[in-house]
Structure 1
């Protein structure tokens, strides 16, 4: 009888294993303690708050009128103010970007002023929120010029033209990277790229082998 009972228990164990698939948990290792409890002698740290771990971005100043900001800026040249007119209806040739460049509590504003006909950048400006008033902390008015925000740095691109170049076909470009330090922007990197004009025309046909 004792032998039959042991055989019955062994068979039951085989049935239990076959009913559970592989015998291991498909979703991962089994818990060593019930859900909501901890094993003796174990200390569990509270889960980090996702909202606290990732700081919220600075609010975007949606109410800022970039055209009015540029035209009221005493540092902006009178020529650019005069040329800053709508291209179509009330559409001004102005690109605006928001981002934290100066480490302030609110986003800085990058404004690029362009021409209507060929969209050539004629002026770029950075405005920083100074106690509710936007202050001009950077400007470049040597066209063609255009500025962008790249991972917290200010990247200014200047097209280089040589004699005979058309507006649409410059000879190269200068890329200047600025970083906010000590209350002002300081140049930290400069890259020069030369463009090839060979792609503007037809390439000569390769010589035929005799």
Structure 2
């Protein structure tokens, strides 16, 4: 009989010990994944690293920004329409190009069918509003942010060139200096028997 009571006591003690460990484990498990789960604290940490990102417009806001911009040509505004439903052909990116308090916005307007760059713009926040500080409206063109520089790619076509085979390509780097973008370097690649070339641009 004594052995039976001892066995029961051991079982109860083990059960209580297991329950206590499980409770502690659950507490740690509930707290840990909250930092890694998508949509949780990881997103907040990302926004905290770039405070202005939360105020940056989504693609539809970028479209409105372009459409109300007096510096944008009437043709670009007229052709900037949704490709499917409310899906506008724009590529929007944010980053520090001008050293402002908020992220700068780079907007590329594309064609619907082949996604060719129609025009590129850069907007800088000033006094609570975004202002156009760069535009390129000679397609095909595409602008992006690369290590603090504005990099613009322009493709050049001869009369009989297919869309997939431009005659040459320019890659131009701009640096924000004295409240404007200054061309720092221009690289030209010729897609032909002569190969590519490289030319440097002046600092002003």
Q: TM-score category by the smaller chain? A: 0.5 to 0.7
Distance 2:57 2:89 in 1: 18
Q: Hey, what does 2:199 align to over in structure 1?
A: none
Structure 2 counterparts to residues 55-94 of structure 1, below 5 A: 56-60=49-53, 61-64=55-58, 65-94=61-90
Distance 1:160 1:86 in 2: 27
* TM-score, scaled to structure 1: 0.65
Q: Any idea what the Cα deviations from partners look like across 1:123-161, whole Å, max 9, x if unmatched?
A: 100000001100000000011100000000000000011
Distance 2:79 2:133 in 1: 22
1:58, 1:105 within 8 Å by CA — same for their partners in 2? Answer: no
One of 133, 140, 146 as aligned partner of 1:144: 140
Q: Shift in Å at residue 196 of structure 1?
A: 4.5
- Say yes or no: does 1:187 pair with 2:180: no
| Structure with max Cα Rg | 1
Distance 1:58 1:156 in 2: 26
Distance 1:134 1:62 in 2: 10
1:108, 1:128 within 8 Å by CA — same for their partners in 2? Answer: yes
SS in 2 for 1:67: helix
Root mean square deviation, CA, Å:
1.5
Q: Hey, what does 1:132 align to over in structure 2?
A: 128
What 5-or-longer segments of structure 1 have no aligned partner?
1-54, 198-210
One of 90, 97, 103 as aligned partner of 2:93: 97
SS in 2 for 1:111: strand
Distance 1:88 1:195 in 2: 34
Q: Shift in Å at residue 194 of structure 1?
A: 1.6
- Say yes or no: does 1:160 pair with 2:153: no
Q: Aligned residue pairs: how many?
A: 143
Q: Hey, what does 2:105 align to over in structure 1?
A: 109
Distance 2:57 2:150 in 1: 23
Q: Shift in Å at residue 58 of structure 1?
A: 4.3
Distance 1:73 1:155 in 2: 22
Distance 1:106 1:73 in 2: 19
Cα distance change on mapping 1:59 and 1:188 into 2, 3 Å? same
Q: Hey, what does 1:4 align to over in structure 2?
A: none
2:108, 2:120 within 8 Å by CA — same for their partners in 1? Answer: yes
